[in-house]
């Protein structure tokens, strides 16, 4: 449904509009629950502490995390991925990673490579999916500390075989780190089943929370070096961080309003997810079909009928992505994202490193009428 005259198809960048429950929860966290959690003992601080405790349980339950203490609040998915990768890997370690990662993975790994971590890339097929046979061969080739892969691509929408990669990793004594930025809140994520040892997600995308919050799941046996040290509200006499979770990984005053908003978004998903995910899939299929039918249009990633996250990126043989996105916004009020989507490697794999693409992404609130109007607008721009 159009909001404020905007047909919003940029949910892969951030979900919008946020459910009213998210705004209300954030206001509460700045008002009656506005103290500093786990520090002072007055009622405002206790309310804040209660809020954070309940929020952790809500998000953990939604993602299938059995013990909420294994679910850590961090400032965002990028921060979380840096925390896991830099906390896990040391010079001399070997890591096997997909060749289509977002820069939130690719750049920390490039920084680690510069300090002596060996980074080996797994190839993908024409739809951008990791080739499991090649992955197995690469992991078996030499002692490997970690296999790293996105759960779903922000460019192609391809869903990666994370559970199979986890099996491969475990068979060879490695851990599996997954980037769930585009999966959490759009696909069913059950971390009790998936097999990932570490899973990182944005709070502000499919999980419907505000910007400034993300989550890291660390499986019970897996500890990484914490990226940040500081106050934790307890054990203050020691110069080292507490060893208990989540304290070890959450130094400093937590972003309580953002945590409250995230929990409220996830509570909405808890009620709606089954129907919502189905609806997003249906609408993304309709979008894909409509865009693919426009002469001169190429759709990246899995073809119609194959599974994908609700992301559809396209390139037109005549209209540059930037111009298409600009025309859609300025003339039709359709919000999409053009360019490389912070994932040049994924574009390289698709042969669109030079041009980039226009990405349409579906989320809560997007209707069939919205995507029909967007497709019609694209048709008008491209066929003018
Ligand atoms: N990984 C993927 C696949 C993404 O699409 C994004 C954001 O677009 C990120 C990681 C980083 O998320 P954030 O910008 O919320 O830190």
Ligand 1 site-directed mutation target among 83, 85, 104, most atoms within 8 Å of CB: 104
For position 83, what pLDDT does the model report? 98
342 is known as an active-site residue: yes
Q: Is the CB of 341 under 6 A from ligand 1?
A: no
CB of residue 150 inside a 6 A radius of ligand 1: yes
Asked if residue 232 has its Cβ within 6 Å of ligand 1, the reply is no
Question: Which one of 106, 109, 152, 181 would you pick to mutate in the ligand 1 pocket, going by the greatest count of ligand atoms within 8 A of its CB?
Answer: 181
The span from the CA of 91 to the CA of 224, in Å, is 15
Q: What is the pLDDT of residue 104?
A: 98
E strand segments, 331-380: 334-335, 337-339, 357-361
- In the chain, CATH 3.40.640.10 covers 20-266
Query: Which residues on neighbouring strands pair with residue 218, listed in sequence order?
Result: 198
Whether the CB-CB separation of 186 and 157 falls below 8 Å is answered with: no
Ligand 1 pocket residue status of 181, Cβ below 6 Å: yes
Q: How far apart are CA 71 and CA 63, in angstroms?
A: 9
Smallest Cα–Cα separation from 213: which of 256, 257, 258? 258
Which residue's CA is the closest to the ligand 1 atom numbered 12? 77
CA of 104 to the centre of ligand 1 (A): 6
Verify whether ligand 1 is closer than 6 Å to residue 102 (CB atom).
yes
Portions of the chain given CATH number 3.90.1150.10: 7-18+273-382
User: What is the position in ligand 1's atom list of the atom closest to the CA of 13?
Assistant: 8
* CATH level 3 topology of 7-18+273-382: 3.90.1150
Q: Which of 375, 383, 359, 373 is nearest to 301 (CA)?
A: 359
Q: Is the CB of 76 under 6 A from ligand 1?
A: yes
d(CA 29, CA 316): 46
What pLDDT is recorded for position 11? 98
Q: 82 CB under 6 A from ligand 1?
A: no
pLDDT tens for the 384 residues of the chain, in order: 778 889 999 999 999 999 999 999 999 999 999 999 988 899 999 999 999 999 999 999 999 999 999 999 999 999 999 999 999 999 999 999 999 999 999 999 999 999 999 999 999 999 999 999 999 999 999 999 999 999 999 999 999 999 999 999 999 999 999 999 999 999 999 999 999 999 999 999 999 999 999 999 999 999 999 999 999 887 888 999 999 999 999 999 999 999 999 999 999 999 999 999 999 999 999 999 999 999 999 999 999 999 999 999 999 999 999 999 999 999 999 999 999 999 999 988 899 999 999 999 999 999 999 999 999 999 999 998
Does 346 contact ligand 1 (Cβ within 6 A)? no
Task: Check residue 232 and give its pLDDT.
Answer: 86
Cα 178 to ligand 1 centroid, rounded to whole Å: 12
Atom of ligand 1 nearest to the CA of 341: 8
Pick the catalytic residue: 77, 149, 342, 382? 342
Q: Which of 102, 152, 201 to mutate to test the pocket of ligand 1 (most atoms within 8 A of CB)?
A: 102
Q: Which two tokens stand for residue 202?
A: 């944005």
| Assigned architecture for domain 20-266 | 3-Layer(aba) Sandwich (3.40)
């Amino acid at each position: 449904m159009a909001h404020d005259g905007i047909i919003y198809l940029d949910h892969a960048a951030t979900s919008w509009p946020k459910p009213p429950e998210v705004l209300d929860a954030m206001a509460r966290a700045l008002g009656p629950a506005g103290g500093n959690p786990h520090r002072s003992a007055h009622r405002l601080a206790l309310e804040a502490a209660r809020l954070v405790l309940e929020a952790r349980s809500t998000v953990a339950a939604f993602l299938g995390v059995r013990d909420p203490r294994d679910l850590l609040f961090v400032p965002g998915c990028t921060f979380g991925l840096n925390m896991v990768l830099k906390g896990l890997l040391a010079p001399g370690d070997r890591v096997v990673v997909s060749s289509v990662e977002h820069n939130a993975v690719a750049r920390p790994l490039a920084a680690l490579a510069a300090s002596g971590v060996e980074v080996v890339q797994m190839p993908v097929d024409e739809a951008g999916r990791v080739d499991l046979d090649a992955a197995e061969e690469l992991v078996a080739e030499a002692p490997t500390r970690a296999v790293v892969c996105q759960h779903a691509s922000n460019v192609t929408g391809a869903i990666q075989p994370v559970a199979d990669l986890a099996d491969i990793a475990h068979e060879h004594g490695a851990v599996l780190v997954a980037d769930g930025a585009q999966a959490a809140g759009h696909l069913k994520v059950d971390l009790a089943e998936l097999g990932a040892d570490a899973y990182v997600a944005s709070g502000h995308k499919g999980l419907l929370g505000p910007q400034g919050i993300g989550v890291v799941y660390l499986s019970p046996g897996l500890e990484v070096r914490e990226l940040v040290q500081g106050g934790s509200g307890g054990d203050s006499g020691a110069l080292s961080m507490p060893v208990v979770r989540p304290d070890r990984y959450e130094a400093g005053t937590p972003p309580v309003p953002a945590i409250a908003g995230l929990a409220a978004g996830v509570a909405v998903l808890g009620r709606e997810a089954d129907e919502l995910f189905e609806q997003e899939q249906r609408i993304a299929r309709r979008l894909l079909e409509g865009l693919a039918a426009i002469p001169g249009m190429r759709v990246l990633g899995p073809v119609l009928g194959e599974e994908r996250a609700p992301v559809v990126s396209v390139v037109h043989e005549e209209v540059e992505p930037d111009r298409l996105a600009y025309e859609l916004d300025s003339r039709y009020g359709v919000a999409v994202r053009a360019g490389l989507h912070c994932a040049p490697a994924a574009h390289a794999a698709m042969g669109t490193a030079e041009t980039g693409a226009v990405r349409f992404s579906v989320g809560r609130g997007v209707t069939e009428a919205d995507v029909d109007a967007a497709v019609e607008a694209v048709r008008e721009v491209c066929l003018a």
